[in-house]
Structures are given as C-alpha cells and as structure tokens.
C-alpha cells in the first residue's frame, strides 16, 4: 500500500471569461478605490469567497497573489456600481467579476435579503 498525501494548493488559473470580465471592470472605473477583483464568488457567513486578481496588498511571500482563494472579512455592504457588484468590508472594496456556478448569484441574493437593515457582524473574539 502506498503512502499518499493529498495536497490542496487553494489556487486556480483564471479562465478567459474571468480575465475578460476583469478587463471590463477595470475599464469601467469605480467611485472609490478598489482593493481587488474576485472571480468565482459566493457569499457564506457574511464573507465573500472567491479567487483574487490584482489585490493591492499582494506581497513577495505570495499572500493575496493572483489565483489564490481568498475569504474577505465581514461584508458591510453589497451594491451595484455600473455593470458590477462591489462588496465593501471594513478596510476593503472588492469588485465581483464573476460568480460561482450554481450558487454564486443565489448567495448574493440571500445575503441581500438577510442583511437589509441588519448589521450583526461576527464577534472579534470567540469563547
């Protein structure tokens, strides 16, 4: 019997469709500065989860590098600017270039329905 280790790199190559949508978003421009562009996005437990592109805090250690899976902090606001949705967190603004297949848009609608007028953020410390 072979000893095997399953390694998950949590990364993905952007598709041509993802890159085309990112280019359209960059050409559109936004009211406030954009932190990064996300592809394959869904919203779970008040956080956006997707594959990052063009993060302005990318460093030499690979953190926030293109193609990495990212989980945002709690989303305070989701709004449409032009042709794209923008998620605003405490310190960042993420443009949603593409949604996850099957449940991405549904997770956004669910988030908008549940969060309208309610701002119950995740606790800073868990007991």
The answer to whether the CB of 64 falls within 8 A of the CB of 58 is yes
Total-model pTM? 0.82
Asked if residue 7 has pLDDT above 50, the reply is no
**Could you tell me the two tokens for 13?**
């190559």
Pairing of strands 93-96, 36-44: parallel
Asked if residue 127 has pLDDT above 70, the reply is no
Q: How confident is the model at residue 15 (pLDDT cuts 50, 70, 90)?
A: confident
Highest-scoring range by mean pLDDT, 28-32, 34-38, 61-65: 34-38
**Which pLDDT value is given to residue 13?**
76
The answer to whether the CB of 94 falls within 8 A of the CB of 39 is no
The residue ranges of every structural domain in the chain are 16-21+31-115
């Amino acid at each position: 019997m072979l000893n095997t280790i399953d390694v998950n790199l949590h990364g993905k190559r952007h598709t041509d469709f993802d890159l085309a949508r990112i280019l359209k978003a960059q050409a559109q421009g936004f009211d406030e500065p954009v932190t990064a562009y996300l592809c394959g996005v869904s919203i779970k437990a008040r956080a956006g989860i997707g594959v990052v592109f063009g993060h302005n805090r990318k460093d030499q250690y690979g953190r926030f590098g293109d193609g990495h899976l990212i989980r945002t902090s709690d989303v305070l606001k989701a709004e449409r600017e032009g042709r794209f949705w923008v998620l605003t967190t405490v310190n960042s603004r993420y443009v949603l270039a593409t949604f996850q297949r099957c449940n991405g848009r549904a997770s956004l609608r669910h988030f908008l329905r549940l969060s309208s007028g309610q701002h119950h953020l995740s606790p800073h410390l868990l007991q």
